[in-house]
Structure 1
Amino acid sequence: MNISKVCYNVQTRNLFWKKRKPNFGKYKIVEPGKVSPRKLVPHHIPKPSYYNTGEPIENIAYPEIKNYQQIEGMRESCTLAANILKKIEENVKVGQTTEEIDVAVYNMCIDNGAYPSPLNYKKFPKSVCTSVNNVACHGIPDDRPLLDVGNVDDEGRNLVNATEICLNKAISICKSGTYFKEIGACIEETAYKLGFQVVPAFIGHGIGHYFHGPPDIFHIRNDYPGKMESGMTFTIEPVLTQGGEMIEILEDNWTAVTIDFARTAQFEHTVLITDSCADILTLPN
Structure 2
Amino acid sequence: MASVEEIEAVNNELEEGSLLPDTAEAEGGAKKNKKKKRKKNNKSQVVASPSFVEHGPGVKLIVVNKNSKCNKSSEKGQTSEKDQTSSTSTLEFDEWARNALGDTLLQSAEDAAKTAWEAPGRIKRRQKTYVFSGELRPATVTQQSRVFHEKYPNIERPDYADHPEGHCLSEQAWPENRIHVYEGSELEIMREACRIGREVLDITSRYAYEGVTGDQLDKILTQACIDREVYPSPLNYYRFPKSVCTSVNEVICHGIPDMRPLRAGDIVNLDVSIYHKGFHSDLNETFFVGKPPREESSGGQAPAQAQGQALQAEAEAVGGDVEMKVVEDSTSTSPVLDLVGDENITITTTSTTTLQQEAPTVWTGDTERVVRTAYESLVAAAKMIKPGCLYRSVGGTIQKVAEGNGCSVVTSYCGHGVGKLFHGPPQVPHYRGSKTPGIMKAGHIFTIEPMINLGANNSQDGMWPDDWTAVTMNGALSAQFEHTFLVTENGYECLTLSRQDILLAEQKKKKGAAASSKHMPEWEDIEPRLRRCAGRDLQEEVTSTKK
Q: Check whether TM > 0.5.
A: yes
**How big is the shift at 1:91?**
2.4
The amino acid across from 2:155 in the alignment is I
Alignment check: 8 A CA contact 2:214 2:246 kept: yes
- What is the aligned partner in structure 2 of residue 81 from structure 1? 197
- TM-score, normalised by the number of residues in structure 2: 0.47
RMSD over aligned Cα atoms: 1.5
Q: What is the 5 A alignment of 1:127-166? A: 127-148=243-264, 149-150=289-290, 151=361, 152-166=363-377
| CA distance in structure 1 between the aligned counterparts of 2:191 and 2:180, rounded to whole angstroms | 16
User: CA deviation digits over 1:58-115, x for unaligned, max 9?
Assistant: 1222110112211111111111111111122222211000000000111101110100
| CA distance in structure 2 between the aligned counterparts of 1:251 and 1:104, rounded to whole angstroms | 26
Q: Unpaired runs of 5+ in structure 2? A: 1-125, 265-288, 291-360, 500-547
> Does structure 1 residue 37 correspond to structure 2 residue 143?
yes
- What is the aligned partner in structure 1 of residue 402 from structure 2? 191
> Does structure 1 residue 266 correspond to structure 2 residue 372?
no
Q: Which residue among 208, 230, 249 is the counterpart of 1:114?
A: 230
- Give SS of 1:130's match: strand
> Does structure 1 residue 209 correspond to structure 2 residue 420?
yes
**How big is the shift at 1:279?**
0.5
Q: Which residue among 43, 46, 51 is the counterpart of 2:161?
A: 51
- Give SS of 2:245's match: coil
The amino acid across from 1:56 in the alignment is C
| CA distance in structure 1 between the aligned counterparts of 2:498 and 2:232, rounded to whole angstroms | 17
- What is the aligned partner in structure 1 of residue 60 from structure 2? none
The amino acid across from 1:181 in the alignment is R
The amino acid across from 2:141 in the alignment is V
- What is the aligned partner in structure 2 of residue 281 from structure 1? 495
**How big is the shift at 1:10?**
4.3
| CA distance in structure 2 between the aligned counterparts of 1:92 and 1:260, rounded to whole angstroms | 26
| CA distance in structure 2 between the aligned counterparts of 1:267 and 1:147, rounded to whole angstroms | 21
Q: Unpaired runs of 5+ in structure 1? A: 1-6, 15-27
Alignment check: 8 A CA contact 2:374 2:451 kept: yes
Alignment check: 8 A CA contact 1:97 1:145 kept: yes
| CA distance in structure 2 between the aligned counterparts of 1:266 and 1:207, rounded to whole angstroms | 18
**How big is the shift at 1:187?**
0.4
- Give SS of 2:206's match: helix
> Does structure 1 residue 65 correspond to structure 2 residue 181?
yes
The amino acid across from 2:403 in the alignment is Y
| CA distance in structure 1 between the aligned counterparts of 2:180 and 2:248, rounded to whole angstroms | 33
| CA distance in structure 1 between the aligned counterparts of 2:130 and 2:156, rounded to whole angstroms | 42
| CA distance in structure 1 between the aligned counterparts of 2:484 and 2:225, rounded to whole angstroms | 18
Alignment check: 8 A CA contact 1:29 1:133 kept: no
- Give SS of 2:493's match: strand
Q: What is the 5 A alignment of 1:251-262? A: 251-262=465-476
- TM-score, normalised by the number of residues in structure 1: 0.89
> Does structure 1 residue 104 correspond to structure 2 residue 316?
no
- Give SS of 1:96's match: coil
| CA distance in structure 2 between the aligned counterparts of 1:254 and 1:60, rounded to whole angstroms | 24
Based on CA coordinates, which of the two structures has the bigger radius of gyration? 2
Alignment check: 8 A CA contact 1:129 1:137 kept: yes
- Give SS of 1:283's match: coil
User: CA deviation digits over 1:108-145, x for unaligned, max 9?
Assistant: 01110100011111111111000000111100000000
**How big is the shift at 1:29?**
2.2
Residue identity (%): 37
Range moving further from structure 2, 129-138 or 76-85: 76-85
- Give SS of 1:65's match: coil
Range moving further from structure 2, 88-97 or 101-110: 88-97
Alignment check: 8 A CA contact 2:130 2:465 kept: no
Alignment check: 8 A CA contact 2:207 2:217 kept: no
| CA distance in structure 2 between the aligned counterparts of 1:185 and 1:60, rounded to whole angstroms | 28
**How big is the shift at 1:232?**
0.5
| CA distance in structure 2 between the aligned counterparts of 1:270 and 1:177, rounded to whole angstroms | 18
| CA distance in structure 2 between the aligned counterparts of 1:47 and 1:206, rounded to whole angstroms | 19
User: CA deviation digits over 1:41-64, x for unaligned, max 9?
Assistant: 110100101001101111222110
More helix by share: 2
Q: Which residue among 239, 245, 253 is the counterpart of 2:459?
A: 245
Alignment check: 8 A CA contact 1:119 1:125 kept: yes
Q: Which residue among 210, 232, 235 is the counterpart of 2:444?
A: 232
